[in-house]
Amino acid sequence: MTIISSFKQGLRQVSHTKRMVLFAWFVNVLFALVLALPFLNTLDGYLRGTVMDERLLHQVDPAWGETFRMDFEKSELVRGVDNTIFGYAPFFSHLEMTLNGAFVKSIGDFLSGLIFRLQIASGYTSIIILLGLLYVGATSFLAGGFISIYSKDHRPTFTEFVADGGKYFGKFFRLALVALLVYYLFFTLLVDWVNRGIPRWTEGAPSEETAFLYYMVKGIVVLFLLSVITMIFDYARIRIVVDVRTSAVFAFFAGARFTLVYFLRAYGLYVLLCAVGVVLIVLYALLEAQVPQDSYWPLVIVFLLQQVYMIARMWLKAGFYACQTHFYREEAKSELIPQSVPEPSIAS
């Protein structure tokens, strides 16, 4: 089975699941609006009665931004907004956060605070972390639906998609918790250690190039390892569905085994899909930069462009599930997948 044929076949399958992709986008928008609408409300109330309203439409004013943040200094929602909302900076910002495990560590810290100190951190961090956790749950639901319908040979219905999402939700959510543990260990033990180390290791360097190279190499290595771990969990999900597994933990090991046995091709497929993601980002960045955002219709156009991008991103996400499921099924069909990690035998 070639990478390309899995890629083609997977994307063909996605084209039959447009409603499901739109549903995934709708869920994403819904979660974002929980944070965005209160922000819009605050900003609208703050600006509408001033002449700054007009000025800010044409020119970003960092000094005004500082005043705004200070006037709402107790609102973590407002404090969280910074320059990275502009242009294609969100992608840089989020990739950096991903590479440093900001979200995973926040969730880990949030949960450990909750469990071990009986303390709920208040404010924006908690809101976004809680929403993030819920979104992880939603993703588990959607992943179950997507992988299940892509593992079938007939054209799926939306009802099937929702039903299968519900069917696999428990297993996938458990797998997400396992993923949280693995990522948390990865970031706190390895990535944080490297991040703390680089300033020390490069302290006496005569040139900043040394530190720059350290960070870039670190970034590439972390990106690679992270992609491998992500891929392992993708195949773990697939094996839960295709192999009809119950244990999330053993599915993780099974996913790892499959990934390692078929590493080159599995990773090739993964990189190919990531490349599509990069192309989408570049396209978005190029188009967004062309629109002068200082009047009503251009703003509408940019908003639509953003949502088109998000739909494309959801389409790609479904593409990951479809292509990898197809790849796994083809490999499983062509040879017996080693079952050296058997499910535990418990009497029923």
Identify residues 41-80 at the interface with other proteins (CB under 8 A): 43-44, 46-54, 56-57, 59-64, 66-71
Distance CA 205, CA 211 (A): 8
SS3 343: coil
How many contiguous H segments (helices) and E segments (strands) does the chain have?
14, 0
Residue 274 beta carbon to other proteins: minimum distance, rounded to whole angstroms: 13
Q: CB of 190 within 8 A of CB of 105? A: no
DSSP secondary structure letters along 211-261: HHHHHHHHHHHHHHHHHHHHHHHHHHHHHHHHTT---HHHHHHHHHHHHHH
Piece in contact with other proteins (CB under 8 A), picked from 160-168, 266-274, 298-306, 325-333: 298-306
Piece in contact with other proteins (CB under 8 A), picked from 161-169, 256-264, 293-301, 327-335: 293-301
Piece in contact with other proteins (CB under 8 A), picked from 2-10, 267-275, 289-297, 320-328: 289-297
Distance CA 24, CA 207 (A): 47
Token pair for 243:
């192999």
Token pair for 195:
């991040």
Binding other proteins (rule: CB under 8 A), the pick from 22, 130, 162, 180 is 180
By the rule CB under 8 A, 189 interacts with other proteins: yes
By the rule CB under 8 A, 181 interacts with other proteins: yes
* Alpha helices in 101-157, H assignment, sequence order: 102-116, 124-150
Number of residues that bind other proteins (CB under 8 A): 127
The smaller minimum CB distance to other proteins, of residues 7 and 110, is found at 110
Residue 33 beta carbon to other proteins: minimum distance, rounded to whole angstroms: 7
By the rule CB under 8 A, 204 interacts with other proteins: yes
Residue 278 beta carbon to other proteins: minimum distance, rounded to whole angstroms: 14
The smaller minimum CB distance to other proteins, of residues 272 and 302, is found at 302
Binding other proteins (rule: CB under 8 A), the pick from 106, 151, 259, 325 is 106
Residue entry with tokens 């390892």: 225
Give the other-Cβ count within 10 Å of 273's Cβ. Answer: 21
Binding positions for other proteins, 216-275, rule CB under 8 A: 216, 219, 230, 233, 246-249
Distance CA 33, CA 97 (A): 21
Piece in contact with other proteins (CB under 8 A), picked from 3-11, 15-23, 132-140, 261-269: 132-140
By the rule CB under 8 A, 303 interacts with other proteins: yes
